Amino acid sequence: MSSEPDAPTTSIASHGAEDVFIRGVSLCKDLIGQRSFTEVIYFQILGRMPTSDQSALIDACLVALMEHGLTPSVLAARLTYSSAPEALQGAVAAGLLGVGSRFVGSMEGCAALLQRVVNAEDGAAEATRIAVEHRAARTALPGFGHPTHKPDDPRAQRLLELAHERNVASKHVAAIAALSNAIDATYGRHITINATGAIAAVLGDCGVPAEIARGFGLIARCAGLVGHLYEEQQKPTLRATWEAAERAVPYEAGKGEG
């Protein structure tokens, strides 16, 4: 029996002289003009078409994540573009590098917590365990809290409402409700479910695995960054941002020198 490993393969795409195939489906005949971008995103990543309700919820998540003002990822993109305007893609890439566990991409951490609740025999007890662990460690709870949207995040509320309206809400939406209750009880105050928390729950109930959830944040933020870069072309902010940074972080002699 051979010990040679199987040769690597891909199941995503192939092409010939007359067509391109994604997951075995004709791009020209069955996808272009027949399916939405959101549907094909889901199909290309997961290998199956979403239901119409799943597609509507995923689309709503992408819309919710696309734009949130002059966030760190946007600032990185705009400043990079101002330094290298010949490389739009470099500026977008700079902004996407800022999609992480604190901003935009925190749905991944929340999705992992929700999976713990979903997999537990006693979901409520597991939710309490998670809340107690984070409070004891003094670590942030991914998917919860927001400096501006208080007492509740309107984006999260709308996404969760839509999940119920579209009959997508299932185990993961129930899990975030249980986790929210446990967090409030453990911390002795209300901590809002933020947009990425709701998105983690909604994507989970749409069949998106926790380990790929952040990818949807990247897809959405990419579109938002392109909009900011077009505005940067028309109304440059580099000088104002640079001067604001110098005012906010003044030089202090003698600190850390020598």
DSSP H or E run through 22: strand 20-22
What does pTM read for this prediction?
A: 0.88
Walk me through the domains of the chain, giving residue ranges and CATH numbers. 9-49 (no CATH), 51-240 (1.10.230.10)
pLDDT in tens, 144-175: 998 788 899 999 999 999 999 999 999 999 99
Alpha-carbon distance of 105 to 96, in angstroms, equals: 10
φ/ψ bin of 209: left (φ > 0), alpha (ψ from -120 to 50), beta (otherwise): beta
- Residue 203 · residue 41 · CB < 8 Å: no
**Which of 94-130 are b and which e, b meaning 16 or more Cβ less than 10 Å from the residue's Cβ?**
bbbebbbeebbbbbbbbbebbbbbbebeebeebbbbb
Rounded mean pLDDT, 233-238: 92
Residue 199 structure tokens: 């998105």
Residue labelled with tokens 């994507």: 203
Type of residue numbered 33? G
The torsion defined by the Cα of 133, 137, 141 and 145, in degrees rounded to 10, comes to 120
Mean pLDDT of the chain: 92
